[in-house]
A and B are shown apart, each in its own frame.
Chain A
Amino acid sequence: MTVPLFRSSRVLEAQIDEFLDVVAEGGLVYQAGVKAYLNGDKSDFDAAIIKIDKLESKADKLSKDVESHLYRQSLIPEHRGDVLGLLENSDNIIDTTKMSLYQFSVEQPEIPAEFDAEFLKLADASAAAVDAVIVCARAFFRDSEQVKDNLYKVHHFEKEADTISDSLKRAIFASDLDLAHKIHLRYFALNVEKVSDKAQEVADRLAIYSIKRNI
């Protein structure tokens, strides 16, 4: 009875690691997708859409597997709720990146070249926030004291994304574009920024979980 206990925990460990890999990769694919869109590189952008779609499905499946595994074998009773919350919220990150890329694809916003650099910086900051929060999530499982040391990076990138988004929106509304166009672009600035907000939400949860985890 106890031998499978170790085996199943190893399987589960691998699944959780894979899930976090997928979310981290999602951040990078998102960043590449936005860049391709801004560069007008349609084939790369389409490839990014296909990729993020697959990653999102994979993340969904993995998180469901882990969830049922944890419940079925009543593992980590003390932290089960936290781990499930973590997985669910991390899954929200990749959902948000997918939605964002889809909106680029559906609405095809016309982004004037003068805003390209800012949009790119915004996507970079959001992707960096995702990357940093995944490092924290991994630390939560292995070395919860490290979570605290990495959380500030997530805050930093989220704040940076806020600042860029703010200045981008100001620049958009200060431009000569018509109002509908301005609102459309603001909508996309918000969309890209939202990815970093989702990373921040996970970070906030991790801050509490890691305190509980320290016995």
Chain B
Amino acid sequence: MEILLFLSSGLFLGWSLGANDAANVFGTAVGTRMIKFRTAALVCSVFVVIGATVSGAGAAHTLGKLGAVNALAGSFTVALASALTTFLMTRLKIPVSTSQAIVGAIIGWNFYSASLTDSSSLTKIMITWVACPVLSGVMAVVLFILVRFLLRVTKPHLLRLDAGTRWGLLIVGAFGSYSLGANNIANVMGVFVLDNPFHDLVLFDVIRVTGVQQLFFIGAVAIGVGVFTYSERVMKTVGSGLVRISPVPAFVIVLAQSLTLFLFASQSLEYFLASHGLPTFPLVPVSSSQAVIGAIVGLSLFKGVGIRYKVMGEISLGWAATPLMAGVVSFLLLFFMDNVFDQQVYHPVRYRLDADVIEELAARGVTDPVFVELPVQNSARKLQRTLLDQTDLSADAIAEVMDVAAVGPWEVDLAAAAPTVWEDLGLSPEQMVALRRLDGQRFDHAWQFHRALAAASESWRPRPGDLANKKWNKALKSQLSLLLRVCRVYQRHE
């Protein structure tokens, strides 16, 4: 029952994501009156559901961004803070990045739980604000020149061009919706995978629907409901509020946005290019909301069309305010959950530099005489401060020390967890055999657990870190993080 309550904030996050992000794929189509809102909402919802259940719930599904939050009540609160922030921005008709709301809310959790914030997540947000719109704007201009040339050569009839543009908007919108579902469902529902209340279903003796797929389906339906009920506001800002757009540029804009996301954020493309010996595009953090605004502004500047700078200013402010607001809201809500509702919003992580850890660190080339003197630390931030003050270690080395010193403990207890949990992890038969071999064992540190698994089977070993193996390693990493969550032995913090 408790999980259903916790699930509600995931659904709320899904709803606000649908309300905000549908504008990125269908905003210009609806704004130019090329596609009716109801048609756009229907196509968007259907493809979001397909993307979320078919592609999002694949074998290597991840915990999503909220996976960083190590307690269910914490995930609930962080999701709620992200959802509230996104909802507020949607009310203000500002297209914002839902991912940034989530990252902001997680930073709030990090502050509350005295965990460390990966400095790269802040850099990523900044890059997304600047690089993503620029890349997308350039892409829009290039595509526009290309499309204009093609139209000059082919000279289609006005009505055929109209029909073609409609088709284009619908197809690109459908693909965009599919990726919206596939890429975001983990953020909405990923963290609830391990407490999944749904069991596998077999329909008509043929179709097997896993519990995870049902969970993701519910999340996707929430996104779809968000699209239907509340996305029209942001669509209007994107489609006609910022600048007056004609149908062909509207198509160019969504295409530019999709291509930017595909070229600069697709690991599948990177893997494909690398495995064929082709040069790859640099992967940069991108967001569809930033990309679509970048494309609109880029194209308008190129065409010399007047931009409504007031709207532009509101959007920019909204971008900056989103992570900040989500962080503050998250921190405050966590405080309430913890102190008023007495919910455990985080599991404290202890750090111990025992003999095993010091030996492991030495093997990794990180040594310092201070290590032996350090007592057990209950806070990541304190340990980091101590290491910064008392050693000459680099930031990377300190991160490594903290990684190695973190204490679980973790215990493999196959009988204790529900059988569906092992299925939901998406483990291969070989991985399952190796895990069975470790049944009953307990590990203080995550790296010891990983090492034991790797020793038990090749299926648990990372492959050499070139691009061609990136996909394998990413899936493995996701499985390991899910496994660590399942096997973690929690003690209520005193």
* Chain A residues close to B by CB (< 8 Å): 1-2, 5-6, 9-10, 12-13, 16, 74-79, 83, 140-143, 145, 213, 215
B34 and A2 within 8 A (CB): no
Is B492 interfacial (CB 8 A cutoff)?
Answer: no
How many A-B contacts are there with CB distance less than 8 Å? 56
Q: In the complex, what distance in Å separates the CA atom of A16 from the CA atom of B167?
A: 22
Residues of A within 8 A of B156 (CB): 142
Q: Name the residue of chain A whose CB is nearest to the CB of B247.
A: A78
Residue among A5, A77, A143, A215 with max Cβ neighbours from chain B (10 Å): A215
Bits for B22-51, please: 1 = Cβ < 8 Å to A, else 0: 000000000011101001000000000000
Q: How far is the CB of B438 from chain A (nearest CB, A)?
A: 54
Residues of B within 8 A of A12 (CB): 159
Is B158 interfacial (CB 8 A cutoff)?
Answer: yes
Residue among B152, B158, B166, B249 with max Cβ neighbours from chain A (10 Å): B158
A74 and B33 within 8 A (CB): yes
A9 and B249 within 8 A (CB): no
Q: In the complex, what distance in Å separates the CA atom of A179 from the CA atom of B170?
A: 68
* Chain B residues close to A by CB (< 8 Å): 32-34, 36, 39, 148, 151-152, 155-160, 162-163, 166-167, 170, 246-249
Q: Of A1, A13, A78, A141, which contacts B246 at CB under 8 A?
A: A78
Residues of B within 8 A of A145 (CB): 152
Q: Of B33, B36, B162, which contacts A9 at CB under 8 A?
A: B162
A215 and B151 within 8 A (CB): yes
B166 and A78 within 8 A (CB): no
Besides A75-B163, A141-B157, 10 new A-B residue pairs in contact (Cβ under 8 A), listed by A number: A1-B39, A5-B163, A9-B159, A13-B157, A13-B160, A74-B33, A76-B159, A141-B159, A213-B158, A215-B246
Q: In the complex, what distance in Å separates the CA atom of A143 from the CA atom of B153?
A: 10
Q: In the complex, what distance in Å separates the CA atom of A5 from the CA atom of B162?
A: 10
Q: In the complex, what distance in Å separates the CA atom of A145 from the CA atom of B151?
A: 11
Q: In the complex, what distance in Å separates the CA atom of A16 from the CA atom of B157?
A: 11
Q: In the complex, what distance in Å separates the CA atom of A33 from the CA atom of B44?
A: 59
Jot down 27 A-B pairs with beta carbons below 8 A, ordered by A.
Answer: A1-B39, A2-B167, A2-B170, A5-B163, A6-B163, A9-B157, A9-B160, A9-B162, A9-B163, A10-B159, A12-B159, A13-B159, A75-B159, A75-B162, A76-B158, A76-B159, A76-B162, A77-B33, A77-B247, A78-B32, A78-B33, A78-B247, A83-B158, A140-B158, A141-B159, A142-B156, A142-B157
Residue among B34, B155, B163 with max Cβ neighbours from chain A (10 Å): B163
B249 and A215 within 8 A (CB): yes
Q: Name the residue of chain A whose CB is nearest to the CB of B152.
A: A145
Q: In the complex, what distance in Å separates the CA atom of A143 from the CA atom of B242?
A: 29
Residues of A within 8 A of B33 (CB): 74, 77-78
Q: How far is the CB of A70 from chain B (nearest CB, A)?
A: 9
Q: How far is the CB of A138 from chain B (nearest CB, A)?
A: 10
Residues of A within 8 A of B248 (CB): 215
Q: How far is the CB of A34 from chain B (nearest CB, A)?
A: 34
Residues of B within 8 A of A6 (CB): 160, 163, 167
Residues of A within 8 A of B160 (CB): 6, 9-10, 13
Q: In the complex, what distance in Å separates the CA atom of A114 from the CA atom of B158?
A: 48
Q: Name the residue of chain A whose CB is nearest to the CB of B155.
A: A143
Q: Name the residue of chain B whose CB is nearest to the CB of A143.
A: B155
Smallest CB-CB A-B distances: 7 pairs: A77-B33, A9-B163, A9-B159, A143-B155, A76-B162, A141-B158, A215-B248
Q: Name the residue of chain A whose CB is nearest to the CB of B156.
A: A142
Residues of B within 8 A of A76 (CB): 158-159, 162
Q: In the complex, what distance in Å separates the CA atom of A129 from the CA atom of B32?
A: 36
Residues of A within 8 A of B167 (CB): 2, 5-6
Q: How far is the CB of B158 from chain A (nearest CB, A)?
A: 5
